[in-house]
Amino acid sequence: MIPVTKPYLPSREKLDKYLDGIYERQWLTNNGQLVQELTQRLEDYLGVENLLLVSNGTLALQVAYRALGVSDATPGAQPEAITTPFTFIATASSLKWDGVQPVFADIDPNTWCLNPANIEAAITPNTRAIVPVHVFGNACDVEAIGAIAQKHNLKVIYDASHAFGVNYKGESLLKHGDAATLSFHATKLFHAGEGGAIIFKRKEDLERAKKMINFGITGPESIEELGINAKMNEMQAAMGLCVLDEIEQISADRQAVTETYNHFLAGKLQKQRIQAGASYNHAYYPVALENEAKVIELMSSLRDSGILARRYFYPSLDAVAALEATSTACSESRKLAERIICLPIYSGLKVEEIEMISKKVSEVAQ
């Protein structure tokens, strides 16, 4: 069986040393030594400041909304946030869960990210924020989005779950927006088994969020505001530290897989156009086929050979009734969602396996 992705398992010997330290200190959570170490090392590696580790990427989004006042209630008016329908469900469901109405605007058909040209038409008096997604690690048009946000006095929270290590014009892409969130789920390029992080533009937002992830508690007898339990624990941090030690090899492995696919599939499929000035982290290998029928045919052909691919992202979220979202016309997102497929990519995927997958893709794509 060839899965669509496979969690990277780092050195067991190194992980055991971290676990031994946890047992010796008997400090399992609440901003332990390893969480502090991982925070500092990630800030250094990513070239950012004001990074806050949390227990998963969905809570990273929810805490960011709260810390930035996006979900603050106003009598008689539900807050709204403009986002993309071409994303994982958590981007929109985290808004809805937190009392913010998702409003979908359509994507750019080439970059597959939220199209800035479609944002202003979706703005209402209740709009509090823009929540774009760096889809598959591809940078959004951050300058255009930033200009719109400034013009209308809106917050920008980037769902950067796929964008670990991506740079834009020589600096971390994660520096853009009022906040950017990361997911450290087991299948991500960098992971902690589970986990996530928020990178804030302003120190004061970081300090507020630090209180929020620990129930609002600021001392043994002090609770300053409402909060939730969103802390990363020491076991997660231990895994993250081990993976971070090997991140250069992980990145190189995935880049090699991408380049091998590119060799076998050159000119045969539509691919995502990478934003000018941005690096790419090879976290995914998405392609778009001619139509949905070909996607279904390819999925079946691959499955018959023990190969799992994924229709990611499908469906377009503006079609998900449970979200009860409002939207402008999102035809580009719907068309892409019908045609998209992510091929297997992970460290250890062999050249002959990539060749076999590519052959089956080529047969259907013809």
Q: Is there a contact between 245 and 10 (Cβ–Cβ < 8 Å)?
A: yes
- Identify whether residues 215 and 281 lie together within a single domain: no
- Identify whether residues 252 and 240 lie together within a single domain: no
CA–centroid distance for 360 within its chain: 29
Catalytic residue among 151, 169, 175, 188: 188
Last residue of a domain, one of 212, 228, 245: 245
Residue 219 has pLDDT above 90, yes or no: no
**Is residue 54, in this structure, part of any structural domain at all?**
yes
Q: Rounded CA gap, 91 and 89, in Å?
A: 6
**Is residue 3, in this structure, part of any structural domain at all?**
no
Q: Is there a contact between 178 and 207 (Cβ–Cβ < 8 Å)?
A: no
Tens of pLDDT along 258-272? 999 999 999 889 999
> Angle of helix 12-25 relative to helix 234-245, nearest 10 degrees?
150
- DSSP helix, strand, coil percent of the chain (3-state; round to 5): 40, 15, 40
Mean pLDDT of 329-355: 97
Q: Is 188 a catalytic residue?
A: yes
Tens of pLDDT along 105-136? 999 999 999 999 999 999 999 999 999 999 99
In sequence order, what are the residues at sequence separation of 6 or more whose Cβ sits closer than 8 angstroms to the Cβ of residue 351? 260
Residue 74 has pLDDT above 80, yes or no: no
Return the CATH number at 353: 3.90.1150.10
- Identify whether residues 239 and 253 lie together within a single domain: no
The pLDDT score that the predictor gives to residue 327 is: 77
- Identify whether residues 317 and 208 lie together within a single domain: no
Q: How confident is the model at residue 20 (pLDDT cuts 50, 70, 90)?
A: very high
- Identify whether residues 159 and 82 lie together within a single domain: yes
Return the CATH number at 88: 3.40.640.10
The mean pLDDT value of the chain amounts to 96
- Identify whether residues 104 and 171 lie together within a single domain: yes
Q: Is there a contact between 209 and 192 (Cβ–Cβ < 8 Å)?
A: no
Give the pairing type, strands 155-159 and 127-131.
Answer: parallel
Q: Rounded CA gap, 220 and 79, in Å?
A: 34
Residue 287 has pLDDT above 80, yes or no: yes
Mean pLDDT of 271-280: 97
Residue-number span of the structural domain to which 212 is assigned: 12-245
Tens of pLDDT along 25-59? 999 999 999 999 999 999 999 999 999 999 999 99
- Identify whether residues 313 and 224 lie together within a single domain: no
In sequence order, what are the residues at sequence separation of 6 or more whose Cβ sits closer than 8 angstroms to the Cβ of residue 225? 208, 211, 212, 216
**Is residue 280, in this structure, part of any structural domain at all?**
yes
Residue 156 has pLDDT above 80, yes or no: yes
**Is residue 36, in this structure, part of any structural domain at all?**
yes
